[in-house]
Amino acid sequence: MQNKKRETFSSGLAVFFATLGSAVGLGNIWRFPYITGMNGGGGFLFIYILCMLLVGIPIMISEFYIGRKTRSNAVGAFRKLNKDNFKFIGLMGVVSAFLIMFFYSGVAGWVYSYVFKSLMGTFKGVTPKQAENLFTSTISNYGTAYLWQVIVIVVVSTILIMGVKNGIEKVTKTLMPILFILIILIDIRAITLSNSFEGLKFLFKIDFSKVTKASILVALGLAFFKLSIGMGTMITYGSYFTEDNDMPQTALKVAFSDLLVSLLAGVAIFPAVFSFNMEPTAGPGLLFMTIPLVFSKMPFGRVLLTLFFLLTSFAATTAMISLVEVPVAYLAEEKKMDRKKAVILTAIIILLFGFLATASIAGDNFIASIKLFGKNFFDFFDFISSNILLPLGGLFITIFIGYVVKKEDVLNELSNNGRINNKNILNAFVFVVKYVAPILVVVIFLNSLGVFGK
Ligand code: PHE
């Protein structure tokens, strides 16, 4: 992946699956359900979808443009467009990638460990209380949890050293469809549980009474996180896109598929929450406490449960590959570091700070007692990246595309020099990127600070 002989994905389908591989991950399967649960369900979902449509998709298209136009990493892209003043957007992205990896690799470690536990039959016939205890002991044994996190980081680094094409493409193209089918299978099982309707009502009934100012910012942050935008991942991936790719269409397809996977994950989890009398507000443990229960009384439960966590671990891994690719491509191309060295350096930083996240969520130890702005390390890394840095990065990207680069350039690149006829989509895109997305982000920020009243 040197500048001269830069690789691209091999086909349109490969572009789609690789990008989807970045978008679909723990954000959909772990984060979306628990955050929706903590923020009241359907009303939050509605706001989330608005954020995705009006802010997320236009930013994704913008990042694709920047990446493919410059065929460069997130920092070099701005340099190549002769906008050195905007390089800070790329650098912010590098920082965000690290902050996200610090906790994401830890959660991926929980998932890896659940593959192993399911395989060993740990969840056979568990009760809701036992499922809860098993999760609590998974995170509170932070030595073991950290060991799994180390395994995760080693796996991700190895795939990255193998390179873009071999690594990313092969994994995503095969596994995404299988994961999709498996989640649908779980959905069918979940819907047939007693009291499942309560769960569906919780997820889909639009009720704004529980939506707070803080939760609107959380919805916005979730949209950025889930779509992998606002931090240069999609710039970096766009830089590997084929010349003939219809990028606005790719963005739409990826965003809607990502939404679909999240909704299917929600339909797998919320019926179980209500059927087993658990709390939708349980937090980060929600996935780990409910899914084993859904499978526990099902034929082939153990095999299917293992398969579920295995595929979730793959989804998490492809998402992490795209996260780590941001600093790696930056170090390799801007700092002229050998790619292998860049991966190893990045991995070491993640290993060091990742420990803080993992120990801080274990409770009852010195690291857990340290608070930054009232949050432990895990929550702090999460909050600063998802709810502050990504939306801020996204805001700057919309300003950059809407007001700094030449409109003709953007339209040319996004229509493949007029080869695709997508005038209407592009007009809508330009309007939203200039007038809707940036204003919404600013309003949501100000609103969360209480500027428009309590
Ligand atoms: N979108 C990924 C997920 O949902 C996480 C991610 C965020 C990946 C930012 C890359 C960049 O799990």
pLDDT digits (tens, 9 = 90+) for 270-290: 999 999 999 999 999 999 999
DSSP state of 160: H
Among the residue ranges 33-47, 119-133, 238-252, 293-307, the one predicted with the least confidence is 293-307
Cα of 421 to ligand 1 centre, how many Å?
Answer: 31
Q: What is the pLDDT of residue 2?
A: 41
The maximal CA–CA distance of the chain, rounded, in angstroms, is 62
Q: How many residues does the chain have?
A: 454
Does residue 278 lie within any of the structural domains? yes
Q: Ligand 1 pocket by C-beta < 6 Å: which residues?
A: 22-23, 25-28, 100, 225-226, 228, 231, 233, 319, 322-323
**Banded pLDDT at 452 (limits 50, 70, 90):** confident
The predicted complex's ipTM stands at: 0.98
The answer to whether 429 and 414 are in contact (CB under 8 A) is yes
Cα of 322 to ligand 1 centre, how many Å?
Answer: 8
Q: Which of 19, 263, 323 to mutate to test the pocket of ligand 1 (most atoms within 8 A of CB)?
A: 323
Handedness of CA 343, 344, 347, 349 (dihedral sign): negative
The answer to whether 326 and 231 are in contact (CB under 8 A) is yes
**Listed residue (321, 298, 317, 320) closest to 309, CA to CA:** 317
Ligand 1 atom showing the smallest separation from residue 96 Cα = 9
Cα of 431 to ligand 1 centre, how many Å?
Answer: 26
Cα-to-chain-centroid distance, residue 62 = 18
Q: What is the domain-level CATH number for residue 398?
A: 1.10.4160
Cα of 149 to ligand 1 centre, how many Å?
Answer: 17
- The C-alpha atoms of residue 367 and residue 355 are separated, in whole angstroms, by 10
The answer to whether 230 and 445 are in contact (CB under 8 A) is no
Does residue 152 lie within any of the structural domains? yes
Does residue 5 lie within any of the structural domains? no
CA nearest ligand 1 atom 6, residue:
228
Q: Span 21-44, mean pLDDT?
A: 96
CA nearest ligand 1 atom 11, residue:
228
CA nearest ligand 1 atom 9, residue:
228
Strand partners, 375: 372
Q: Exposed (0-12), middle (13-18) or buried (19+): which is 416, by Cβ within 10 Å?
A: middle
**Banded pLDDT at 454 (limits 50, 70, 90):** low
CA nearest ligand 1 atom 7, residue:
228
Does residue 454 lie within any of the structural domains? no
Indicate the average pLDDT of the chain.
Answer: 93
Q: What is the pLDDT of residue 1?
A: 41
Residue pLDDT, tens place only, 207-252: 999 899 899 999 999 999 999 999 999 999 999 999 999 999 999 9
Does residue 132 lie within any of the structural domains? yes
Cα of 91 to ligand 1 centre, how many Å?
Answer: 17
Cα of 291 to ligand 1 centre, how many Å?
Answer: 22
Does residue 353 lie within any of the structural domains? yes
Handedness of CA 419, 423, 425, 427 (dihedral sign): positive
- The C-alpha atoms of residue 69 and residue 74 are separated, in whole angstroms, by 12
- The C-alpha atoms of residue 417 and residue 342 are separated, in whole angstroms, by 35
Cα-to-chain-centroid distance, residue 184 = 20
CA nearest ligand 1 atom 4, residue:
27
- The C-alpha atoms of residue 426 and residue 353 are separated, in whole angstroms, by 42
Name the token pair of 60. 């994704």
Measured from the Cβ of residue 244, the count of other Cβ atoms closer than 10 Å reads 11
Ligand 1 atom showing the smallest separation from residue 320 Cα = 8
Q: Span 26-46, mean pLDDT?
A: 96
The answer to whether 227 and 255 are in contact (CB under 8 A) is yes
Residue pLDDT, tens place only, 308-358: 999 999 899 989 999 999 999 999 999 999 999 999 999 999 999 999 999
Cα of 25 to ligand 1 centre, how many Å?
Answer: 6
- The C-alpha atoms of residue 350 and residue 345 are separated, in whole angstroms, by 9
Cα of 336 to ligand 1 centre, how many Å?
Answer: 26
Cα of 323 to ligand 1 centre, how many Å?
Answer: 7
The answer to whether 256 and 24 are in contact (CB under 8 A) is no
pLDDT > 90 in the chain, percent: 82
Q: How far is CA 375 from CA 319, 330, 379, 388, in A?
A: 25, 30, 6, 15
The answer to whether 292 and 123 are in contact (CB under 8 A) is yes
Cα of 57 to ligand 1 centre, how many Å?
Answer: 15
**Banded pLDDT at 5 (limits 50, 70, 90):** low
The answer to whether 358 and 401 are in contact (CB under 8 A) is no
Residues 6+ apart with CB under 8 A from 454: none
3-state class (DSSP) for residue 375: strand
Q: Which of 314, 322, 346 to mutate to test the pocket of ligand 1 (most atoms within 8 A of CB)?
A: 322
- The C-alpha atoms of residue 439 and residue 436 are separated, in whole angstroms, by 5
Cα of 299 to ligand 1 centre, how many Å?
Answer: 33
- The C-alpha atoms of residue 7 and residue 2 are separated, in whole angstroms, by 8
Strand partners, 372: 375
Ligand 1 atom showing the smallest separation from residue 315 Cα = 12
Name the domain count of the chain.
1
- The C-alpha atoms of residue 116 and residue 172 are separated, in whole angstroms, by 22
- The C-alpha atoms of residue 379 and residue 202 are separated, in whole angstroms, by 25
Does residue 4 lie within any of the structural domains? no
Q: Which of 20, 105, 168, 228 to mutate to test the pocket of ligand 1 (most atoms within 8 A of CB)?
A: 228
Helices (H), 12-121: 12-23, 26, 32-38, 42-51, 57-70, 76-80, 87-119
**Banded pLDDT at 300 (limits 50, 70, 90):** confident
Does residue 103 lie within any of the structural domains? yes
- The C-alpha atoms of residue 120 and residue 123 are separated, in whole angstroms, by 8
Q: Which of 179, 233, 261 to mutate to test the pocket of ligand 1 (most atoms within 8 A of CB)?
A: 233
What's the domain range around 381? 12-448
The answer to whether 441 and 223 are in contact (CB under 8 A) is no
**Listed residue (308, 312, 266) closest to 108, CA to CA:** 312
The answer to whether 198 and 26 are in contact (CB under 8 A) is no
